[in-house]
């Protein structure tokens, strides 16, 4: 079965090879450095719109929404259910809309154009945009309603997007933003006036809210008033791995196509790659349980200090517009919408749901594919496999090797032309001096300087911050290596059942990585193809065998995934051996954290810091839930986790019998000591919170 559909994989790979060029980017800051920002902010702005539509004033838009059949239907429904008069509900709807709606004003946009020009020039060396993508976008905007789907790594993302579109004289988007921004009174209003509209983070059962919201978005889309922009990932990825896409908004923007209200909808994936992320260490702390600082204007002002640092360059890649019509061809039968009035809200059919889900994954993969990678992400991947540090010369040598591997796997790598490798490595290290340092010819991670004496837990925490920060760079390259890496792990650990093992890992990690549902065979073939291509394996007949020269590649891949394997194992161990009966969902994350820190304290040489990341813990739990090894039960207001220890144990087994956790368990912890008891003591004493100070 492996070889039968091989030509297909060959095709798909070679086609992505073509995009493997970093040319065609234009640095939009260059002009800003050479001409007046004020003139730029005040210049004539006259974008072409969708089929020459006349722009719609924000107030008119609100009226269209409030008078829509869709909203009227829900208003009457809610009125009947609640016994309130429709007028009152209508008024409520109006208030919701008021809270939500954007008030895009060109004057505000001009203000941002000016202010951001100043800020960007201070923060970044370059802001590079692929010109071809801009041309494609300009074309698409005129033909069909456009939905911009950028990756989300930073608060900067949406301001940056609008800034770029303004620069290229393209229609300014309206952007779905979380309500949390509204915490910053003034800034929130500024954002609103630059095209943001605000949605509550959760409004699960609120029919009216949903109706207002979806009708608002659809009205803008149907009429083509402005491109709609939102983040498929739902929130900023703190790990720099793409997040599992959220489907709510995508469903909303695709539905008008299924209902025939528009001929097509163009989805434009946009990949925004930061050489250094502004929120870098903030994210690591957040992942370790320091709560996210509430958005506040004063907080933003404090953040001014970041203005003094160098954040390298940004690459923004506008992808090929994806036609929903072409995607849906043969997958969704639109005539199933014929027998139901279109203004009555309806849960999408199963066929549609799986289409939207599939689409979302594909778009996120497109985002990944077009992320521009810097040499540093390769170096970070190597450093994380050598936490004790390594010789600069070795690092340089391995980086060059890894560069070759990445390029042959079609990574979108921005490696400076004609620069000696040593220079590339040293300038990367210079830019990321907060993360890695060279001393005595050895490169190692920088660990935050503790003030005064530290407990072992605090030391652990500091170490974890630096590992997680570094991991956020390694994570950027994972999508390139993921599939062959899973195959490598499968080969090294269970060489007789490679495909089964691969598919187990694929399933297990499908919350951590973007693996399109149903693509398992294709991914396997791709993995085989890539490993064969680089000579790491051979495939005589149906077999997969490592070649003589394959060892470095396979062991690098194995090392790449090691933190994830170990992390999942820690979670499994915890659930099997230490989790108490009534473990609630809320307790789960701190409990795993304590469990791990106790392990560390006892053993002293554990290296899987990443399991301390709430992201990994959540993903591991989600995987176990999906695999029915853990169930959620709602008791009163608490969600309790019921662990099927047999199942978890066997998953743990597959993850690797010979891994260090079991080793540690058997040898280093005296059988008389209850880990749970220790962990609970620590937790009760408030030790965990002390990490974060």
Partner 1 sequence: MLTSDSCLSLHKHGSSMASDSNSSESQRIAQQRLRIIAGHLQKHKDDDSGTIATECKAEANKGTVPRKRQEIMKWNGWGYSDSKFLFNKKGQAEFTGKRYRLSGMVLPSLQDWFENTFGASVNHKSPATPALNASAVPPASLNEAFVEDLKATGIPFSHEAEDRVFRAHGHCLHEIFALREGKKFERVPDMVVWPNCHNDVVKIVELACKHNVCLIPYGGGTSVTSALECPPEETRCIVSLDTSQMNRILWIDEKNLVAHVEAGIIGQDLERLLNESGYCTGHEPDSMEFSSLGGWVATRASGMKKNVYGNIEDLVIHIKVVTPRGVIEKSCQGPRMSTGPDIHHFILGSEGTLGVVTEVTMKIRPIPEYQKYGSVVFPNFEAGVACLREVAKQRCAPASIRLMDNEQFQFGHALKPQVSSIFTNFVEGLKKFYITKFKGFDPHQLVVATLLFEGDRERVLQHEKQVYDIAATFGGLAAGEDNGQRGYILTFVIAYLRDLGMDYYVVAESFETSVPWDRVLDLCRNVKERINRECKERGVQFQPLTSCRVTQTYDAGACVYFYFAFNYRGLADPVHTYERVEHAAREEILANGGSLSHHHGVGKLRKEWMKESISSLGVGMLQSVKDYVDPDNIFGNRNLL
- Residue ranges binding partner 1 (CB under 8 A): 259-261, 263, 333-335, 337-338, 341-342
- Complex with partner 1: residue 143 or 206, whichever CB lies closer: 143
Nearer to partner 1, 223 or 547 (CB): 223
Residue 147 Cβ, how far from partner 1 at the closest point, in Å? 18
- Residues 6+ positions from 156 with CB-CB distance below 8 Å: 274, 278
Q: CA neighbours within 13 Å on the CB side: how many for 453?
A: 1
DSSP three-state, residue 268: strand
Specify the 3-state DSSP secondary structure of 539.
Answer: coil
- Residue among 35 and 333 whose Cβ is closer to partner 1: 333
Shortest approach of partner 1 to residue 570 CB, angstroms?
51
Alpha carbons 582 and 51: distance in angstroms, whole number:
60
Alpha-carbon torsion angle 656, 657, 660, 664, nearest 10? 150
Polymer length of the chain: 693
Strands 436-439 and 390-391: unpaired
Nearest approach, Cβ of 257 to partner 1 (angstroms)?
10
Between 52 and 604, name the residue whose CB sits nearer to partner 1. Answer: 52
Nearer to partner 1, 52 or 671 (CB): 52
Structure tokens at 527: 């993995």
Tokens 């990690």, residue located:
509
Q: What share of the chain is helix, strand, coil (3-state, %, to 5)?
A: 60, 10, 30
Cα–Cα–Cα angle for 53, 318, 182, rounded to 5 degrees: 70
Nearer to partner 1, 51 or 631 (CB): 51
Q: How many helices (H) and strands (E) does the chain have?
A: 29, 16
Residue (8 or 263) nearer to partner 1, CB: 263
CB of 494 to partner 1, least distance (A): 48
- 132 or 143: CB nearest partner 1: 143
Nearest CB to partner 1, comparing residues 76 and 333 = 333
Closer CB to partner 1, residue 68 or residue 242?
Answer: 68
Q: Which is nearer to partner 1, 330 or 540 (CB)?
A: 330
Q: Of the two residues 296 and 338, which places its CB atom closer to partner 1 in the complex?
A: 338
User: Residue 336 Cβ, how far from partner 1 at the closest point, in Å?
Assistant: 10
Q: Are 356 and 511 in contact, with CB atoms under 8 Å apart?
A: no
Q: Which helix (H) or strand (E) holds 631?
A: strand 630-635
Report how far residue 183's alpha carbon sits from residue 294's, in angstroms, rounded to the nearest whole number: 8
Smallest distance, partner 1 to C-beta of residue 21, A: 28
What is the 8-class DSSP label of residue 267? E
Instruction: Compute the C-alpha angle 562/474/460, nearest 5°.
Output: 65
**Rounded CA separation 660/656 (Å):** 9
CB 249 → partner 1: shortest distance, Å? 22
Q: Which is nearer to partner 1, 121 or 259 (CB)?
A: 259
Tokens of 421: 């490798």
Q: How near is the Cβ of 326 to partner 1 at its closest, in Å?
A: 11
Q: 261-282 burial string, b = 16+ CB within 10 Å, else e?
A: ebebbbbbbbbbbbbbbbbbbb
Closer Cβ to partner 1, 335 or 670, answer by number: 335
β-pairing, 630-635 with 638-643? antiparallel
Helix (H, G, I), strand (E, B) or coil at 606: coil
The nearer residue to partner 1, 256 or 550, going by C-beta atoms, is 256
**Least distance between partner 1 and beta carbon 339 (Å):** 9
CB of 323 to partner 1, least distance (A): 10
Residue 338 Cβ, how far from partner 1 at the closest point, in Å?
A: 4
| Residue 620 · residue 588 · CB < 8 Å | no
The CA-CA-CA angle for residues 128, 133, 134, to 5°, reads 80
Tokens 């291509």, residue located: 533
Q: Helix, strand or coil for residue 174?
A: strand
**Nearer to partner 1 among residue 298 and residue 335 (C-beta):** 335
Q: How far is the CB of 256 from partner 1 (least distance, A)?
A: 9
Q: Tell me how far, at minimum, the Cβ of 171 lies from partner 1, in Å.
A: 20
| CA–CA separation, 642 and 652 (whole Å) | 17
Cβ at position 333, least distance to partner 1 in Å:
8
For residues 172 and 107, the answer to whether their CB atoms sit within 8 Å is no
DSSP label at 575?
A: I
Least Cβ distance, residue 444 to partner 1 (angstroms): 58
- The 3-class SS string of 269-330 reads EEEEEECCCCCHHHHHHHHCCCCCCCCCHHHHHHHHHHHHCCCCEEEEEECCCEEHHHHHCC
Q: Which residue has the tokens 């490169």?
A: 443
Please say whether the beta carbons of 53 and 225 come within 8 A.
Answer: yes
CB-hemisphere CA count at 13 Å for 83?
0
Nearest-approach distance from CB 330 to partner 1, in angstroms = 11
**3-class SS at 242?**
coil
């Amino acid at each position: 079965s492996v070889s039968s559909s091989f030509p297909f994989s060959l095709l798909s790979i070679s086609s992505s090879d073509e995009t493997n060029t970093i040319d065609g980017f234009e640095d939009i800051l260059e002009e800003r450095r050479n001409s007046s920002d004020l003139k730029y902010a005040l210049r004539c702005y006259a974008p072409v719109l969708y089929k020459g539509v006349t722009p719609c004033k924000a107030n008119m838009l609100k009226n269209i929404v409030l008078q829509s059949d869709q909203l009227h239907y829900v208003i009457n429904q809610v009125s009947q259910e609640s016994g309130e008069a429709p007028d009152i509900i209508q008024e409520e709807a109006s208030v919701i809309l008021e809270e939500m709606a954007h008030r895009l004003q060109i004057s505000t946009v001009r203000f941002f154009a000016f202010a951001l020009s100043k800020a960007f020039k201070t923060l970044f060396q370059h802001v590079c945009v692929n010109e071809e993508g801009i041309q494609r976008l300009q074309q698409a905007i005129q033909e069909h309603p456009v939905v911009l789907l950028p990756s989300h790594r930073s608060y900067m993302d949406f301001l940056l997007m609008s800034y770029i579109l303004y620069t290229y004289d393209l229609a300014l988007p309206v952007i779905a933003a979380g309500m949390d921004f509204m915490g910053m009174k003034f800034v929130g209003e500024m954002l609103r006036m630059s095209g943001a509209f605000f949605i509550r983070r959760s409004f699960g059962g609120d029919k009216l809210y949903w109706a207002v919201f979806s009708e608002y978005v659809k009205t803008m889309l149907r009429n083509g008033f402005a491109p709609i922009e939102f983040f498929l990932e739902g929130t900023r990825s703190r790990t720099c791995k793409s997040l599992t896409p959220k489907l709510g908004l995508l469903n909303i923007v695709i539905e008008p196509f299924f209902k025939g209200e528009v001929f097509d909808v163009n989805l434009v994936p946009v990949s925004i790659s930061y050489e250094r992320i502004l929120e870098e260490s903030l994210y690591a702390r957040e992942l370790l349980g320091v709560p996210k600082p509430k958005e506040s204007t004063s907080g933003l002002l404090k953040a001014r200090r970041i203005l003094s640092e160098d954040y390298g360059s940004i690459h923004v890649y506008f992808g090929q517009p994806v036609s929903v019509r072409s995607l849906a061809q043969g997958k969704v039968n639109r005539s199933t919408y014929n027998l139901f009035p279109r203004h009555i809200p309806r849960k999408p059919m199963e066929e549609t749901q799986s289409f939207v889900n599939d689409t979302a994954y594909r778009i996120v993969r497109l985002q990944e594919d077009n992320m521009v990678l810097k040499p540093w992400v390769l170096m970070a991947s190597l450093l994380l496999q050598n936490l004790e540090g390594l010789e600069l010369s070795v690092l340089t040598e391995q980086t060059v090797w890894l560069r070759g591997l990445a390029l042959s796997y079609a990574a979108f790598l921005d490696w400076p032309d004609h620069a000696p490798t040593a220079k590339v490595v040293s300038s990367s290290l210079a830019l990321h001096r907060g993360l890695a340092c060279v001393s005595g010819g050895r490169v190692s991670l920088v660990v935050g300087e503790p003030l005064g004496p530290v407990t072992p837990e605090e030391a652990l925490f500091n170490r974890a911050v630096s590992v997680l920060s570094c991991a956020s760079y390694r994570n950027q390259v994972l999508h390139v290596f993921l599939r062959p890496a899973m195959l490598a792990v499968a080969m090294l650990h269970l060489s007789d059942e490679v495909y089964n093992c691969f598919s187990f890992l694929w399933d297990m990690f499908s919350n951590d990585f973007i693996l399109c549902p149903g693509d398992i065979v294709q991914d396997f073939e791709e993995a085989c193809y890539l490993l064969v291509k680089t000579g790491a394996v051979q495939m005589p007949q149906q077999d997969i065998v490592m070649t003589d020269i394959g060892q470095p590649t396979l062991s690098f891949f194995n090392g790449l995934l090691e933190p994830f394997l170990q992390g999942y194992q820690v979670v499994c161990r915890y659930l099997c051996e230490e989790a108490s009966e009534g473990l609630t969902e809320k307790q789960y994350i701190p409990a795993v954290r304590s469990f791990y820190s106790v392990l560390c304290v006892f053993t002293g040489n554990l290296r899987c810091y990443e399991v301390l990341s709430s992201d990994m813990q959540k993903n591991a739990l989600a995987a176990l839930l999906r695999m029915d090894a853990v169930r959620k039960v709602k008791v009163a207001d608490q969600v309790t986790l019921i662990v099927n220890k047999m199942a978890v144990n066997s998953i743990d087994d597959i993850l690797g019998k010979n891994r260090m956790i079991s080793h540690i368990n058997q040898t280093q912890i005296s059988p008389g000591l209850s880990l749970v008891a220790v962990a609970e003591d620590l937790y009760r004493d408030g030790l965990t919170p002390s990490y974060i100070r």
